[in-house]
Amino acid sequence: MSKFEDMNLKKELLDALKKMNFIEPTDIQEMTIPVVLQGKSVLVKSKTGSGKTGAYLIPLINSTEKKRSVQNLILLPTRELAIQVYDVFKKMASTSGLKGALVYGGASINRQADELKMKPAFVIGTPGRIKDMVGRGFLNLSGVKNVVLDEADQMLDMGFYDDVSEIINMTDRDRRMMLFSATMTPDVKDLASRFMEGSENVNASEDEVPLHIKHDYVVSEHQNKVEFLVRYIEDYNPEKAIIFSNTKSGASFISDRLRKMGYRSVQIHGDLTQRQREDSIRRFRGGERFLVATDVAARGMDIPAVTHIINYDLPREDKTYIHRVGRTARFGKAGTAISIILPDEKYILNRIRKTAGVNIDKLPMEGQAQERRIEGGSRSGRGPRTYARRPDYRSRGNKNARGSKNRRRY
């Protein structure tokens, strides 16, 4: 593998990377950085945790001029991702003299306007607030030479296709684009065909699961799932885990129960305020043991030290399993994924096995429910109409199960 020193990067950037202990590029960085340094647009398929943030920030910081003008625009689907990328930018640009502005909804418009008045070289933010700041006259994108769309599939799935298209059209006609996406959905392909003719394609993701992950499952009835979760925690002692729930109310219920039992747990889902979500991420990075999350809230979130992924609910889509478990086993480290399935969900697990190309073994835990064979499950849906319903957390007499608003590789 090459080193960053072999990529003809500026000395001040190399110094910043060394401070961050960035010596060797990841695969996606090694494939993408030379292409961007050549001035080309690039369309990248890359899984979560591959190092894609550095794949575009490093070459852009290296080539950006030190002048007061907005030259680079980085669009992300969520506030959490925008904050995350901005934090990485500050570290990588710390010795380069380049300034950035963080622009996202739910924060002070006046503060963001003040930052934009300084004409930073980088603007990092979400589509809705970016458009708002342009409309208010605080941001002019006509001089933007580089546009990055990070987590493009999620951004377009969230309904930002028109906003993104409009924003791109506001930038310089000779702009260069970098599009990063875990999956190449029809909307992603359509957007690329409109704005990225002649771009270089980099495929760093074949929807593969990291190699160093052990995959297990246990079988539980609805009413016993928390019991099995706690027994797993006590028996296998996960150091730092993300627990996935399919619903906001479920995430709140699980996190509340864990805290009441003495476990250090935080939650992140759509019912929390922005301040609460940021606080949860900060606390989980800092030392909380468990983060209970929904898929949308956790998409793209970078927590390098996660040792375990716990699927309290099996994901609704097979490939979501791949995205979930990809948050462990980062940088070649080992990781574990455990799924708590219902008796009727074995056929879904078998389908995930085939989609992800992994072995998922049954843990020898006592008291498990008897697996029940369901006929008629298909890849195109969640199974027959007689499929057992998802748990209704509100029916358990837990007042906190409704999702209280009081909770909250590079």
Q: Please tell me the predicted confidence (pLDDT) of residue 208.
A: 64
Domain membership flag for residue 208? no
Domain membership flag for residue 386? yes
Beta-carbon count within 10 A of 194 CB:
11
The pLDDT of 359-369, averaged and rounded, is 94
Q: Are residues 193 and 228 in the same domain?
A: no
Chain mean pLDDT for the chain:
86
Domain membership flag for residue 304? yes
Q: Answer with the one of 174, 203, 232 that is the final residue of a domain.
A: 203
Q: Are residues 199 and 238 in the same domain?
A: no
Q: Please tell me the predicted confidence (pLDDT) of residue 205.
A: 60
Backbone angles phi and psi of 64, in degrees to 5: -80, 135
The owner of tokens 């980085």 is 74
> Any idea what the CATH number is for the domain that residue 239 is in?
3.40.50.300
Which pLDDT band holds residue 295 (cuts at 50, 70, 90)?
A: confident
Count of structural domains within the chain: 2
Q: Are residues 256 and 231 in the same domain?
A: yes
Q: Answer with the one of 203, 236, 261 that is the final residue of a domain.
A: 203
Q: Are residues 353 and 263 in the same domain?
A: yes
Least confident of 127-136, 187-196, 213-222, 289-298: 289-298
Q: Answer with the one of 203, 227, 256 that is the final residue of a domain.
A: 203
Q: Are residues 286 and 374 in the same domain?
A: yes
Least confident of 71-75, 77-81, 99-103: 77-81
Which pLDDT band holds residue 337 (cuts at 50, 70, 90)?
A: very high
Q: Are residues 235 and 143 in the same domain?
A: no
Buried b (16+ CB within 10 A) or exposed e, 29-51: bbbbbebbbeeebbbbbbbbbbb
**What are the pLDDT digits (tens) for 1-60?**
468 988 989 999 999 999 999 988 988 899 999 999 999 999 998 876 678 999 999 999
Q: Please tell me the predicted confidence (pLDDT) of residue 327.
A: 83
Domain membership flag for residue 233? yes
Q: Are residues 259 and 358 in the same domain?
A: yes
- Per-residue pLDDT at 332 exceeds 70: no
- Per-residue pLDDT at 401 exceeds 50: no
Choose the most confident range, by mean pLDDT, from 44-58, 183-197, 384-398.
183-197
Domain membership flag for residue 408? no
Which pLDDT band holds residue 409 (cuts at 50, 70, 90)?
A: very low
Q: Please tell me the predicted confidence (pLDDT) of residue 103.
A: 97
Q: Are residues 232 and 199 in the same domain?
A: no
The pLDDT of 197-205, averaged and rounded, is 82
Q: Are residues 132 and 220 in the same domain?
A: no
Q: Please tell me the predicted confidence (pLDDT) of residue 343.
A: 95
To the nearest whole percent, how much of the chain has pLDDT over 70? 86
**What are the pLDDT digits (tens) for 155-188?**
998 999 999 999 999 999 999 999 999 888 899 9
Q: Are residues 182 and 244 in the same domain?
A: no
Q: Please tell me the predicted confidence (pLDDT) of residue 298.
A: 64
Print the SS3 string covering the chain: CCCHHHHCCCHHHHHHHHHCCCCCCCHHHHHHHHHHHCCCCEEEECCCCCCHHHHHHHHHHHHCCCCCCCCEEEECCCHHHHHHHHHHHHHHCCCCCCCEEEECCCCCHHHHHHHHHCCCCEEEECHHHHHHHHHCCCCCCCCCCEEEECCHHHHHHCCCHHHHHHHHHHCCCCCEEEEEECCCCHHHHHHHHHHCCCCEEEECCCCCCCCCEEEEEEECCHHHHHHHHHHHHHHHCCCCEEEECCCHHHHHHHHHHHHHCCCCEEEECCCCCHHHHHHHHHHHHHCCCEEEECHHHHCCCCCCCCCEEEECCCCCCHHHHHHHHCCCCHHHCCEEEEEEECHHHHHHHHHHHHHHCCCCEECCCCCCCCCCCCCCCCCCCCCCCCCCCCCCHHHHCCHHHHCCCCCCCC
- Per-residue pLDDT at 326 exceeds 90: no
The pLDDT of 273-297, averaged and rounded, is 87
The pLDDT of 207-227, averaged and rounded, is 88
To the nearest whole percent, how much of the chain has pLDDT over 90? 65
Whether the pTM exceeds 0.85: the reply is no
Domain extent, residue 258, equals: 213-402
The pLDDT of 376-397, averaged and rounded, is 39
Q: Are residues 192 and 259 in the same domain?
A: no
- Per-residue pLDDT at 385 exceeds 80: no
Beta-carbon count within 10 A of 364 CB:
8
Q: Are residues 167 and 64 in the same domain?
A: yes
Domain membership flag for residue 220? yes
Which pLDDT band holds residue 258 (cuts at 50, 70, 90)?
A: very high
